Amino acid sequence: MMDKSKVSNYFKKTIEYLKKPLLGEQRALGLDIGTRHIKLAQIKKTPGGYLLEKYGTIELSPETIVDREIMDREVLIESIRKIIEENEIEEKKVATVISGKNVIIKKLLTKSPKRREEKKVFEALAKENIPFDLQEVVIDFKKLKGKTKEKKDEKEEKLELILVGAKNEVLYPLIDALKEASLLPCNIDIPSFILKSAYQKDIPQEGTCLLVNIGFEHIIITVIRDGDYLFDDEIPMGVRTFIEEIQRVCGLGSKEATKVLQREKIEKDENSEKDENSKEDEAIDDTIEVKEKDVQRAKNTTIKRLISRANRLLPDISEWKLIILSGGGAGISGIQKAFADKFNTNCEIGNPLKEINYGENPPDCPHQLDIAIGLAISKLEGTGVNLLPFEERADEKNKILQSLDQGLPIYSFVLSALILSSIGLGLTKKQHRIEREIEDMKIQQEILIPKVTEARELMAKEKEIRTKVEVIQNLSKNKYARVKLLDEINLLLPEYTWLVTLNEESADSTSIGILLRGITTSNFAVSEFLRRLEDSSYFTNVKLNYTKRDEIAGTETTEFEIKTRFKEFKK
């Protein structure tokens, strides 16, 4: 017989081989388009886990994107092309994010629908909760952990959902820009779910955790409870707020204040080594003279505002398990300690590469790439939501069909071989099974032959005993009925009336025919006997056959014959 482990390995290798022409390599590209930077991360799924293959960052001019709206489309497209070329990215399918006022997020609790009814129920929920025509928006749902009940005594189960929507007029400019840059958008998600994917290994599964993503213009705060999304909110503050405060306190221009903040971040960051030849250091002008206390005062003022705004947004939770800082502003000194002190819990700067392998040159500040990394992971795992319009997903299907068409000759040969191998293995297994069954039957036959002989002898004895029992039962049948018959006739006989003959005649299932012959003193006695028989509940069909006058020892007598049926007899 063929070794089972070899057969299993054979099928596994065949399936993996078949998957390659259809799905290609299992890698994903995440592209985070922010207000001042574009960041990308390409991750490959390997047997040993995730691998960060490529990553990169490029700065945008201040007028390219303002308040998350694309103001200079050509510059954005050129920047995307540049970061793709510089990092030698060959992958064309890309996942990205959309956030802010352009996104509607609602948490809903609904009756748990059957699987075939989910689409209809979700559409009804969208109509109730989206303040736009559904033709103008793209929506998606995310189920939270399991099913819940509103009350303990309720039998009806409830399903907790997150409804996410975005207007077409916001999505299509982003999609068109990516296409112009020769990329194929395959997934559009929201930052809260992406950050959860990026830090899924760090987020505690019990208790409440806070994710704080500090971007250039906005801070996204996401609350996670028991490992699941609770809610998120946004603060219109960010790195720009720190720059503007340094400008105001130190009397500097925007560029100078930016350089001061960058320099301060590098000097305070104990986890990074200063590279004298790095481009970042070359961009910092050390000739800018500012007082350290003024810079610190500007930062402290901004941090206090930030903490105050965050505290007003967050629910009153007695104990926070963990706070994770991420984004471009996470490394600004003082923010980490301020959050830890305010919420009395551990606060750390996120590292999305804790569980991800990387090459010889890992990023200096991986928390700045967390959204790009989270996008790639979410795409590989199939988590999060997708706000890509359905008609745009046709390109993805066409590509799969094209790959299938290209791999058709391979599939035809391999599938034929696989089918024939499966049939051969199946027949071989069936033959061995039948042979084992025949051997087992022979053994069972040898064991059963003596038992069959013994069983036949027992059956013959049983038949003999049954015959004897039937004879006894027939003899005993109706013995009490005959006693009852005689007793009833004795009670019904008038005075001076004697029976000469009592014969049993034809019987049916409920009665037996009785023939009575007797002698009495007068016809009156015969009439009385007939009347009593007819009135009795035990006799039916009473009939007088004849009466005959006679004389016995000088006394006149009447001989009679009566025919009737006794009802207490069972055949």
Q: C-alpha 486: how far from its chain's center?
A: 82
pLDDT in tens, 456-492: 888 888 888 888 877 776 656 667 778 888 888 889 9
Identity of residue 541: N
Q: How long, in residues, is the chain?
A: 571
| CB neighbourhood size of 436 (10 A) | 10
Nearest Cα residue to 42 out of 327, 329, 369: 369
* Whether the Cβ atoms of residue 466 and residue 474 lie closer than 8 Å to each other: no
pLDDT in tens, 161-199: 888 888 888 888 899 999 999 999 998 998 888 888 889
In this structure, the strands spanning 555-566 and 539-552 are antiparallel
The token pair at 207 is 């208790």
Q: What's the pTM?
A: 0.63
- What pLDDT sits at residue 390? 80
C-alpha to C-alpha distance for 534 and 499, rounded to whole angstroms: 18
**CA 519, 520, 524, 530 torsion-angle sign:** negative
Average pLDDT in the 344-348 region? Answer: 92
In this structure, the strands spanning 356-358 and 49-59 are parallel
Average pLDDT in the 299-317 region? Answer: 87
- What pLDDT sits at residue 349? 92
Contacts of 505 (CB under 8 A, 6+ apart): 512, 513, 514, 515
| Eight-state DSSP code of residue 555 | E
| pLDDT at residue 366 tops 60 | yes
Using a 10 angstrom Cβ sphere, with 0-12 exposed, 13-18 middle and 19 or more buried, the burial of residue 245 is buried
- What pLDDT sits at residue 571? 54
- What pLDDT sits at residue 359? 78
Helix or strand or coil: residue 225?
strand
Contacts of 313 (CB under 8 A, 6+ apart): 221, 233, 235
| High-pLDDT (> 70) share of the chain, % | 83
The token pair at 325 is 């800082």
Q: What are the chain's domains?
A: 203-349 (3.30.420.40), 479-566 (3.30.70.2830)
The token pair at 374 is 């989270």
- What pLDDT sits at residue 241? 92
C-alpha to C-alpha distance for 34 and 56, rounded to whole angstroms: 13
pLDDT band at 39 (very low <50, low <70, confident <90, very high): very high
C-alpha to C-alpha distance for 506 and 511, rounded to whole angstroms: 9
